[in-house]
Amino acid sequence: MGMDPHTIKELLQLQIWNRSSLLASGGAAAKSDDDSEFSGLLNSLLARQQDGQTEEGNVRNEQRTGKSMLAAAMLAGRAATSSWSHYFQSGDNADQPPAYDSTIQAASRKFGVDSALVKAVINAESSFNPNAVSRAGAKGLMQLMDGTGQAMGVADPFDPLQNIEGGTKYLSGLLRKYNGNPGAALAAYNAGPGRLDKLGIKDDRDLEAKLHLLPEETQQYVRKVMQLKHHYEA
C-alpha cells in the first residue's frame, strides 16, 4: 500500500525524534531543528483547507466558544493535565476493565508514557479489539496505519504486544515533541503532527486557543481520550 506525502512527512519527523530519544538516554529529548525542513510540505494543502472558512463571523464565534469552555476548566486552578480532565467531562463508558494490562504496563515503563493514557488511547481507538480495522486502514488496538507501524518496528499490527509497543512508542515521540503536553500529543496522534505544526500548536495552551481550527473529529477525539484517561487515573 502506498503512502501519501502527508504520511511520509510525518514518518520522517518521527525518525528524527526517535534518534534524539536514543541519544537522550531516558531524558526528555530535545526537539530536532530538522523538523522545520518538513513543515513546508503541507503548507499548500492546509492553506486550501483553511480557505474554506469564509464566514469570518462563524469562525470568531467558534473561537470564542472554544476558548470560553477551556478557560472555565482552567479556573479549577489545577495543572494542565487536570484542567483538560475537568473540561472533558463526558465520553463513552470506560468501566470495562482493560485487557492486556501487563503488556500496557510494560510498554508504559519502556517508553515513559502514563499507562492511563495508553489505556485511554486503546479504548478510544479500538475498544480493546485487537482485530479492529478502520475505513482508512488503521489496524489493531492502537489503530496504527501501515507506514506508521512499520516505522515503529511493528511487523504484525494485529499482534497485541507489537501493536501496543508500537503505538506507545509513537505516542512517546509525540509527547516529547510537545514537551509532555498530552492534549497536543493526542491531537497529533489523530490529525498528524504536520497539521499542528502548520497551526503553530506547540503545547496544550496553544491547543486551547486553536482547538476550533482542527477537524471536529480531532476535537472530539482529544476530548474523549482525556476523559478516559481521567477515569483510569481514578
What residues have CB less than 8 Å from 22, skipping those under 6 apart? none
Average pLDDT over residues 134-138: 95
Q: What digits encode the pLDDT tens for the residues 104-126?
A: 999 999 999 999 999 999 999 99
pLDDT score of 21 more than 60 = no
Which among 174, 217, 219, 197 is positioned nearest to 42, based on CA atoms?
197
- What pLDDT sits at residue 99? 75
Q: Which of 10, 37, 56, 125 is catalytic?
A: 125
Instruction: Categorize the per-residue pLDDT at 35 as very low, low, confident or very high, splitting at 50, 70 and 90.
Output: very low
- Residue 176 C-alpha cell reads as 516529547
Does this model's pTM top 0.75? My answer is: no
Average pLDDT, the chain: 75
DSSP class of 79: -
- Residue 191 C-alpha cell reads as 490529525
**Residue 109 or 96, more confident:** 109
Least confident of 8-17, 95-104, 109-118: 8-17
Instruction: Categorize the per-residue pLDDT at 4 as very low, low, confident or very high, splitting at 50, 70 and 90.
Output: low
- What pLDDT sits at residue 192? 96
CATH of 5-23+35-50+88-233, picked from 1.10.3720.10, 1.10.530.10, 3.90.1150.10, 3.30.365.10, is 1.10.530.10
10 catalytic per annotation: no
pLDDT score of 49 more than 70 = no
Task: Collapse the DSSP code of 76 into the 3-class scheme (helix H, G, I; strand E, B; otherwise coil) and give the result.
Answer: coil
Instruction: Categorize the per-residue pLDDT at 234 as very low, low, confident or very high, splitting at 50, 70 and 90.
Output: confident
Question: Alpha-carbon distance 120 to 67, whole Å?
Answer: 24
Q: What digits encode the pLDDT tens for the residues 50-90?
A: 444 444 444 444 454 454 445 443 333 333 344 444 444 44
The crossing angle, in degrees rounded to 10, of helices 56-74 and 80-87 is 120
Average pLDDT over residues 44-51: 43
Least confident of 14-23, 75-84, 184-193: 75-84
Contact status, residue 189 vs residue 117, Cβ threshold 8 Å: no
Instruction: Categorize the per-residue pLDDT at 37 as very low, low, confident or very high, splitting at 50, 70 and 90.
Output: very low
Average pLDDT over residues 9-27: 48
